[in-house]
Amino acid sequence: MEDKALCDICTKAKVFTKCLGCAVSLCEGCACFELIGSGCGCVWPAYYCFACVHDPHINPNAVFKESDK
């Protein structure tokens, strides 16, 4: 059975993943990819929506991003 769920952001494309910050469903085009390091040498892939990827309370890499405001 094929999954027909659509992205919560663009509502056009099929869901690829959920935002690690707010859990909205995201397609590949709306998902922002990040690598999160723990300090012990481990690195994990993470996907965020546009709002969460720029929020330093959610994404530890947000402080390194330029503001779009």
Q: For residue 63, is pLDDT > 90?
A: no
Would you say 34 and 59 are in contact if contact means Cβ atoms under 8 Å apart?
Answer: yes
Nearest to 26 by CA among 1, 56, 46: 46
Against a cut of 0.85, is the pTM above it? Answer: no
Summarised one tens digit per residue, pLDDT across range 26-59 is 999 999 999 998 888 899 999 999 999 999 999 9
The residues facing 67 across adjacent strands are none
Residue pointed to by tokens 């890499």: 61
